[in-house]
A and B are shown apart, each in its own frame.
Chain A
Amino acid sequence: MTKRVPVPLLVPAVLGLIFLILPLVGLLARTPWATLPARLAEPRVVEALRLSLLTSSLATVLCLLLGVPLAWLLARVEFPGRRLVRALITVPLVLPPVVGGIALLLALGRRGLVGQWLDTTFGITLPFTTAGVVIAESFVALPFLVIAVEGALRGADSRYEEAAATLGSTRWTTFTHVTLPLVAPGIAAGAVLCWARALGEFGATITFAGNYPGVTQTMPLAVYQTMESGDLEGAVVLSLILLVVSVAILAGLRDRWLTAP
């Protein structure tokens, strides 16, 4: 109880904490509390919030569908070039999201590598659509999920999978009946990270999906545009809403899912 914390550790730790919290304090200090309720009820705010929650949730589902199998492949199957694949997956982590947006345009845009074919064959164009927002968000959020789930899979004892095999379980049933339940907490943590990243996505979204209220204007875009128009107060309000909603949801999930079994 009375163990002393060494000063060379304590001071930077406290400074780090202040550094993280100070901007939030700044946000709260400038919040116009009196006009807050009226601002909250504004249709464009409700619209942007609804869109943000919808797209980030859809992006999380998409990331789960693609990311969990990918993580399994990386964690459980030896194949040539695995290290390269793992390095490639982390690229969207370090890539500025705007660059990601441009890259998405060049691949999935109306004149993009694949987008051109989608347009001529199926008449599907992704930019400026809500689906485009989901894709932009998934692109930047997927690495978070893959890395979290791969870590969980590597941490899980693969001998359980061998035990399942000796009981007559094929690799697929082992995956669904043994592996998935074993790494469920890791998947949940990855999904939450992924969702949070998707919710905060700005650069790739505005570049790839554009900015139109009700269709592609998510909360971060609304914040930016409000700020641009000189309405700092409005931007603060929107930021606060985004902050409160994400913290509330993360806290809720933490209690329900993320506590150790």
Chain B
Amino acid sequence: MTALLDAHLVVNRDAFHLDVVLRIAPGETVALLGPNGAGKTTALRALAGLAPLAGGHLRLDGEDLRRVPPEKRPIGVVFQDYLLFPHLSARDNVAFGPRRHGMDRRSAHAVADRWLERVGLADHGRRKPRNLSGGQAQRVALARALAVDPVLLLLDEPLAALDARTRLETRGELRRHLAAHPGATLLVTHDPLDALVLADRLVIVEQGRVVQEGDAVTITARPRTDYVARLVGLNLYRGHGAGHVVSLPGGFTLTSTDTVHGDAFVAFSPAAVALHAHRPDGSPRNTWPVVLDDVQHHGDNLRVRLDGPISVAADITPAAAAQLDLSPGRELWVAVKATETRAYQA
């Protein structure tokens, strides 16, 4: 599949330097995922023409967009807090784009009505944005961005402003609309769940650089940076592999059932970490002494952070916790089965 969007974005803003390559195929949704300040929104603004490019290239559907002003780019944007025009009704907000593209008032309103109906707000057209709920405003913003038939749809943290319940509903609905969008879609988010549910492919940026990209399965299975590992909830270590053993800096070793040579990562889930009050004995596995640092709720379980020769996170059930007396400073033993670890080339 040839890329609809082919961009190499270089932006310099004060001390911040962004340099990312993005390619998106027609109908594909790519999530740009990264921590705050990674440059996600800057990349989105550069694509929309709101931030100047210092270098690189930007082609959309074969057209060079570098010198095209924002109002002439076939791009629709859903902004983080939607930026619905407060003085216009929902219907006029959606009709705004078609009107600016030369459509007469009546046709623009017809387009707007059609889009409002598609997002399930047919009877909310007369409302001003201040009379819409967060979820409704989000849908109007989406309708407004799609009403200009953009080749590239950009969404900046489209669900961040919603409460947890609305978010769940809206996420599902958004997924449906993105799937129906024939052009390319770029979703900027810091929420891995949004990225996993909505996107076909993930591009992860840190400090202005792409650190990893690929489909959700690859990335969740084989994170390549601490950020990604935390994001997908894995313990991740980098070291030197020699067969089943990976040596970490400082001499600590982890054993895996995978085979790896040279520069390597070792990853395992916090759920794979077992805690013991005393040194466990028995089958061959990774065990080492640790000191309890911190305990937090994590869903129905508890996530325990432990210091030792390597820092590690463990998920345990409240029942297990009750037997262990989890107070900070408590000395414990950790055990991780070799079958639960994954070792792969760095």
A→B interface (CB under 8 Å): 157, 159-160, 162-170, 173, 177-178, 181-182, 184
List the A side residues contacting B101 at CB < 8 Å: 168
Q: Is B135 an interface residue (CB 8 A)?
A: no
- Please tell me if the beta carbons of A170 and B71 are within 8 angstroms of each other in the complex: yes
| Shortest Cβ distance from B147 into A: residue | A167
| Shortest Cβ distance from A163 into B: residue | B83
| Shortest Cβ distance from B144 into A: residue | A167
CA of A177 to CA of B49, assembled, Å: 20
Once A160-B85, A178-B85, A181-B87 are accepted as A-B contacts, the answer to whether A167 and B100 lie under 8 Å apart by CB is yes
State how many angstroms separate the Cβ of A182 from the closest Cβ of chain B. Answer: 7
- Please tell me if the beta carbons of B86 and A165 are within 8 angstroms of each other in the complex: no
CA of A164 to CA of B86, assembled, Å: 12
- Please tell me if the beta carbons of A168 and B79 are within 8 angstroms of each other in the complex: no
The 4 closest A-B CB pairs, nearest first, are A167-B97, A168-B100, A165-B70, A181-B87
State how many angstroms separate the Cβ of B334 from the closest Cβ of chain A. Answer: 49
Once A169-B71, A170-B71 are accepted as A-B contacts, the answer to whether A163 and B77 lie under 8 Å apart by CB is yes
State how many angstroms separate the Cβ of A180 from the closest Cβ of chain B. Answer: 9
State how many angstroms separate the Cβ of B190 from the closest Cβ of chain A. Answer: 19
State how many angstroms separate the Cβ of B154 from the closest Cβ of chain A. Answer: 8
List the B side residues contacting A170 at CB < 8 Å: 71, 100
- Please tell me if the beta carbons of A159 and B87 are within 8 angstroms of each other in the complex: no
Q: Is B264 an interface residue (CB 8 A)?
A: no
State how many angstroms separate the Cβ of A152 from the closest Cβ of chain B. Answer: 14
Once A160-B83, A160-B85, A178-B85 are accepted as A-B contacts, the answer to whether A166 and B100 lie under 8 Å apart by CB is no
CA of A139 to CA of B88, assembled, Å: 35
Some 26 contacts from A to B, beta carbons below 8 A apart, are A157-B83, A160-B83, A162-B48, A162-B83, A163-B85, A164-B96, A164-B100, A166-B48, A166-B49, A166-B70, A166-B73, A166-B75, A166-B76, A166-B77, A167-B71, A167-B76, A168-B72, A168-B97, A168-B101, A169-B100, A170-B71, A170-B100, A177-B96, A181-B87, A181-B88, A182-B87
Q: Is B50 an interface residue (CB 8 A)?
A: yes
Q: Is B148 an interface residue (CB 8 A)?
A: yes
- Please tell me if the beta carbons of A162 and B70 are within 8 angstroms of each other in the complex: yes
Once A168-B97, A169-B71, A173-B100 are accepted as A-B contacts, the answer to whether A159 and B144 lie under 8 Å apart by CB is no
Interface size of B as a range: 20 to 34
List the A side residues contacting B77 at CB < 8 Å: 163, 166
Contact with A along B65-97 (1 / 0, CB 8 A): 000011111011101000101111000000011
CA of A164 to CA of B144, assembled, Å: 11
State how many angstroms separate the Cβ of A157 from the closest Cβ of chain B. Answer: 8
Count of inter-chain pairs, beta carbons less than 8 A = 59
- Please tell me if the beta carbons of B79 and A163 are within 8 angstroms of each other in the complex: yes
- Please tell me if the beta carbons of B96 and A159 are within 8 angstroms of each other in the complex: no
State how many angstroms separate the Cβ of B282 from the closest Cβ of chain A. Answer: 61
List the A side residues contacting B75 at CB < 8 Å: 166
List the B side residues contacting A160 at CB < 8 Å: 83, 85
Among A165, A169, A181, chain B packs the most CB atoms within 10 A around the CB of A165
CA of A159 to CA of B101, assembled, Å: 20
List the B side residues contacting A168 at CB < 8 Å: 71-72, 97, 100-101, 148
Further contacts, 9 of them, CB under 8 A, given A170-B100, A181-B88: A160-B85, A162-B48, A162-B70, A165-B70, A166-B48, A166-B70, A166-B75, A168-B71, A181-B85
- Please tell me if the beta carbons of B50 and A167 are within 8 angstroms of each other in the complex: no
Once A162-B50, A162-B70 are accepted as A-B contacts, the answer to whether A169 and B96 lie under 8 Å apart by CB is yes
List the A side residues contacting B88 at CB < 8 Å: 181
Among A159, A168, A169, A173, chain B packs the most CB atoms within 10 A around the CB of A168
List the B side residues contacting A167 at CB < 8 Å: 71, 76, 96-97, 100, 144, 148
List the A side residues contacting B148 at CB < 8 Å: 167-168
CA of A232 to CA of B17, assembled, Å: 73
CA of A163 to CA of B78, assembled, Å: 9
Among A159, A162, A163, chain B packs the most CB atoms within 10 A around the CB of A163
CA of A164 to CA of B50, assembled, Å: 11
| Shortest Cβ distance from A160 into B: residue | B83
List the B side residues contacting A178 at CB < 8 Å: 85
Contact with A along B173-204 (1 / 0, CB 8 A): 00000000000000000000000000000000
CA of A165 to CA of B75, assembled, Å: 10
Contact with A along B100-124 (1 / 0, CB 8 A): 1100000000000000000000000
List the A side residues contacting B83 at CB < 8 Å: 157, 159-160, 162-163
State how many angstroms separate the Cβ of A118 from the closest Cβ of chain B. Answer: 40
Once A163-B79, A164-B96, A168-B100 are accepted as A-B contacts, the answer to whether A182 and B86 lie under 8 Å apart by CB is yes
| Shortest Cβ distance from B50 into A: residue | A162
| Shortest Cβ distance from B77 into A: residue | A166
State how many angstroms separate the Cβ of A132 from the closest Cβ of chain B. Answer: 38
List the A side residues contacting B87 at CB < 8 Å: 181-182, 184
